[in-house]
A and B are shown apart, each in its own frame.
Chain A
Amino acid sequence: MSDTVLEVKNIWKEFPGVIALKGINETFLKGEVHAIVGENGAGKSTLIKIISGVFSPNKGDIFLKGKKVRFGSPIDAKSHGIVTIFQELSVLPNLSVAENIFIGQEKTNLGFLSYGDLYKRTKEILEQLEIADISPSTITGTLSVAYQQLIEIGRAVATKADVIIMDEPTSSLTENEVKTLFKIIGKLKDNGVTVIYISHKLDEIFQIADRVTIMRDGEKVGIYNIDEVVEDRIIELMVGRKLENYYIKDSKPRNEVILQVKGFNGEKFRNVSFDLRKGEILGFSGLVGAGRTELMMSLFGFLPYDKGEIYLKGKKINIKSPLDAINYNIGLVPEDRKLQGLILIMTVRENITLPGLDRIKIAGFIKLAEEYRIAKQKVEELSIKTPSIEQKALNLSGGNQQKVVLAKWLNLRPEILILDEPTRGIDVGAKAEIYKLMNEMAKEGISIIMVSSELPEILAMSDRVAVMAEGELTAVLERDEVSEEKIMHYATPRSVLSKAS
């Protein structure tokens, strides 16, 4: 196993105000799955962006099969057999699935694309990904984020590569798709492909990795063979201290019903009715495409709804726009931070205060001192890693961007907070903080709807769990009766269940 494919030596990278990498050394072996873990902002994405030619390092060298290389771009790296799936989706929404998978390597006949062949090969890839129900000609942008993520994985698989780098590939996938991905990774490994795998989900790492590198503050603080290390040790190295009480949940819902949704219908959901009690954490579980996000977006006034009633504290209300929702003291942390959560070219400060500007104004002017104070306070409270509150959101690491989105809404102190995948891309330490925060908010009487594809957090944090399948609410389970099996049962589409029986 001493076949080194890729080696990085003494890599340094500095951004204005931050040293993201401080002399990283690492070797990657042929046919291994090499995990990299670390807190948000530890420098994981920066490292792989340097390997794949997005950034050039301030110092240090990269060796591919013993030869010193430096790539000018990801395309350059790809032509040398290093393919990267970046943390940020990079599928082209206006192109078809086939075009996205084979972009840059379409076979041409006299300059014309040969679609027959392209579609045939795309079908093969989609079958591997176990999403053969999608047609190769589907426009990628019409698919859900999870499918787009799978397409992105397909693109990497379709390339003859020696090294495939995956930066948080499972952050928007649910269990089934993750299983498929792991099968694919297994096959890649058998074919001698090296997979560099970044994830915040440590259980995944224990399932598929051969070795794990732990990073902290731009440095490598450990490397282990996976069977020679335990989860707690990894966390301790990542966070720099022992982490206790990962899930804290001792809030109890009050009796008072704060929100009632009756017979709610929209494009992607039908006849949904449920109650939310004061101080309750109501989990929403389901498979990708079950309609949870669309339901929340309609409740929040972002998407239209056809039929149905919403009662707030017994009074019928009409929410026609997000502003209406905000005025009723409802907040929503959307699923996709880059497309919906943040204004990337604005600063951390401007992002945090955007929904609450009306509360810090005087005669139409923003009270700047107040604004700075709020931004600083939230950055501190959520330990958002940024050189200053004047940094553009664009330049933050993925997890820290997510925290900025949370900060926006926490600042408003809503009565009802809808969280759509709140811990997506967030490191273990920060996750624990968010759970703690949710628990505290619930105790204060804030009601929380948490849409999540991570069963462990649904099970640990919810007072009740609503399960959706194919746009319908199939069950609302009480805390003492909920289990993984039950959730999976109700989340599985009826059509599949009836086929099975």
Chain B
Amino acid sequence: MKRIFQIKEIGILIILLVLMGFLGITTRSFLTSENLLTALLNISFIAIMAFGETMVIITAGIDLSVGSILGISSVVIALLLHDYHMAMVPAILSGLLMGTTMGLVNGFLITKLKLPPFIATMGMLSIGRGLAYVLTGGWPISPFPETFTNIGQGKLFGIPNPVLFMIVLAIIAHIFLKYTVLGRRIYAVGGNLNAARLSGVKVDKILILVYAIAGFLAGISGFLMTAWLGVGQANAGQGYELDVIAAAVIGGTSLMGGEGTILGTILGAAIMGILRNGLILLGVSSFWQQVAIGLVIIFAIAFDRLRGGLRK
């Protein structure tokens, strides 16, 4: 079975390489290290959130609120740094706490009030975004101390910091899902909720956990994006949930639950990112870009359904 998983991921990898090869041939600027690093940087914000989304989708849930959580975390950090002159570390931690709390609320709505994940997180999508606007009055917030912006804009060995964050978080998420008891239980809950419960899995606890993780990681993305841009905005991350979900699903996470890997999700995020990057380089208008991305998402999810249909 492992073999098939690998084959599945190799399939995604091949699509990615073909896409990159095509762009390398048709555009002059694609295969430059500068462009590739820019693409990677753009991918990292999506990918980090997609790790959490992957866990949520493995439990057969969905989290539509990650983009809004990114926004509100960004605003919280920006306000604390700029308006309240809070020290950097507590400010960042507050932003992450905000993200995690939003995730916890999702988890409680889904487990205790028994709301469908789609509905609960759609509500939180609106609430989070609304609160971000309330807190800022809609104005962008800047500037920040350099120590803060350096985290987002700095590089190590020529690699932008957010990319490094993505790599480290990917490794942690991968190990968590694959080698820990909690990770295994996440798959169990998505694979068969009743069987998991009868095997002593605290299903509610696991569900709350994955939504909290998704919120936390959206918070990290919010923090990194704010530091990178040097500005906190209420509309940060708007619409990102679609890219995030698409990244997970293109990467082979099954919407029916029980299946998905971090490696696949990284590849999925890369396909989304490279596609956007390539469309820009090819001079495709931003309107058509949206159409193209939409087509890719539909294609990927249709593919998931087909696979699901074959699975009894």
Q: Which residue numbers of A lie inside 8 Å of B, CB to CB?
A: 88, 300, 302, 321-323, 325-326, 332, 334, 339-347, 350, 354-355, 357-358, 361, 364-366, 368, 390-392, 394, 408
Shortest CB-to-CB span from B187 to chain A, Å, is 7
**Structural contact, B181 and A365, CB atoms closer than 8 A:** yes
A88 to B198, CA, bound (A): 21
A343 to B256, CA, bound (A): 13
B288 contacts partner chain A, Cβ-Cβ < 8 Å: no
**Structural contact, B188 and A346, CB atoms closer than 8 A:** yes
Shortest CB-to-CB span from A141 to chain B, Å, is 14
Shortest CB-to-CB span from A410 to chain B, Å, is 14
Contacts of B180 in A (CB 8 A): 364-366
Contact of A322 among B2, B199, B312 (CB under 8 A): B199
Interface string of B49-83 (1 = CB under 8 A from A): 00000000000000000000000000000000000
B179 contacts partner chain A, Cβ-Cβ < 8 Å: yes
Contact of A302 among B182, B188, B197, B311 (CB under 8 A): B197
**Structural contact, B199 and A354, CB atoms closer than 8 A:** yes
Q: Which of A334, A342, A366, A394 has most chain B Cβ within 10 Å?
A: A366
**Structural contact, A340 and B179, CB atoms closer than 8 A:** no
Contacts of A302 in B (CB 8 A): 197-198
**Structural contact, A355 and B200, CB atoms closer than 8 A:** yes
Contacts of A323 in B (CB 8 A): 200-202
Q: Please provide the chain B residues from 242 to 260 with a CB less than 8 Å away from any CB of chain A in the complex.
A: 258-259
What bracket does the count of chain B residues touching chain A fall in?
20 to 34
B196 contacts partner chain A, Cβ-Cβ < 8 Å: yes
Closest B residue to A88 using CB positions: B312
**Structural contact, A345 and B259, CB atoms closer than 8 A:** yes
Contacts of B312 in A (CB 8 A): 88, 344, 394
B6 contacts partner chain A, Cβ-Cβ < 8 Å: no
**Structural contact, B199 and A408, CB atoms closer than 8 A:** yes
**Structural contact, A342 and B181, CB atoms closer than 8 A:** no
Closest A residue to B197 using CB positions: A322
Q: A357-B181, A364-B181 are in contact. Are A334 and B198 (CB under 8 A)?
A: yes
Shortest CB-to-CB span from B258 to chain A, Å, is 5
**Structural contact, B258 and A340, CB atoms closer than 8 A:** no
**Structural contact, B195 and A342, CB atoms closer than 8 A:** yes
B126 contacts partner chain A, Cβ-Cβ < 8 Å: no
10 cross-chain pairs, A with B, having the tightest CB-CB distances, nearest first: A343-B191, A355-B199, A323-B200, A326-B200, A343-B192, A354-B199, A357-B181, A345-B258, A361-B181, A364-B180
Contact of B196 among A332, A354, A364 (CB under 8 A): A354
B194 contacts partner chain A, Cβ-Cβ < 8 Å: yes
A322 to B196, CA, bound (A): 10
**Structural contact, A366 and B184, CB atoms closer than 8 A:** yes
**Structural contact, B1 and A347, CB atoms closer than 8 A:** yes
A sample of 8 inter-chain contacts (CB < 8 A) reads A88-B312, A344-B312, A350-B184, A354-B184, A357-B185, A366-B180, A390-B2, A392-B1
Q: Which of A326, A339, A357, A364 has most chain B Cβ within 10 Å?
A: A357
Extra contacts, 10 of them, besides A325-B200, A326-B200, A350-B184 (Cβ < 8 A), are A321-B200, A322-B197, A323-B200, A340-B194, A345-B258, A345-B259, A346-B258, A366-B181, A392-B1, A394-B311
A323 to B201, CA, bound (A): 7
**Structural contact, A344 and B199, CB atoms closer than 8 A:** no
**Structural contact, A357 and B184, CB atoms closer than 8 A:** yes
Contacts of B201 in A (CB 8 A): 323, 354
A334 to B195, CA, bound (A): 9
Contacts of B1 in A (CB 8 A): 347, 390-392
A408 to B180, CA, bound (A): 19
Closest B residue to A324 using CB positions: B200
A392 to B259, CA, bound (A): 12
**Structural contact, B202 and A321, CB atoms closer than 8 A:** yes
Q: Which of A354, A358, A366, A390 has most chain B Cβ within 10 Å?
A: A354
Shortest CB-to-CB span from A165 to chain B, Å, is 18
**Structural contact, B179 and A365, CB atoms closer than 8 A:** yes
Contact of A332 among B185, B188, B192, B198 (CB under 8 A): B198
A339 to B179, CA, bound (A): 26
**Structural contact, A343 and B188, CB atoms closer than 8 A:** yes
Contacts of A339 in B (CB 8 A): 192, 194-195
Shortest CB-to-CB span from B133 to chain A, Å, is 39
**Structural contact, A354 and B188, CB atoms closer than 8 A:** yes
A109 to B200, CA, bound (A): 51
Shortest CB-to-CB span from A322 to chain B, Å, is 5
Contacts of B198 in A (CB 8 A): 300, 302, 322, 332, 334, 340-341
A346 to B58, CA, bound (A): 12
Contacts of A340 in B (CB 8 A): 194-195, 198
**Structural contact, A366 and B195, CB atoms closer than 8 A:** no
A339 to B197, CA, bound (A): 12
A302 to B312, CA, bound (A): 25
A99 to B188, CA, bound (A): 33
Q: Please provide the chain B residues from 174 to 220 with a CB less than 8 Å away from any CB of chain A in the complex.
A: 179-182, 184-185, 187-188, 191-192, 194-202
Q: A322-B198, A354-B199 are in contact. Are A346 and B187 (CB under 8 A)?
A: yes
Contacts of A345 in B (CB 8 A): 191, 258-259, 311
A339 to B312, CA, bound (A): 12
A368 to B1, CA, bound (A): 17
Contacts of A357 in B (CB 8 A): 181, 184-185
Shortest CB-to-CB span from B190 to chain A, Å, is 9
A18 to B194, CA, bound (A): 30
A365 to B180, CA, bound (A): 4
A408 to B192, CA, bound (A): 15
Shortest CB-to-CB span from B76 to chain A, Å, is 30
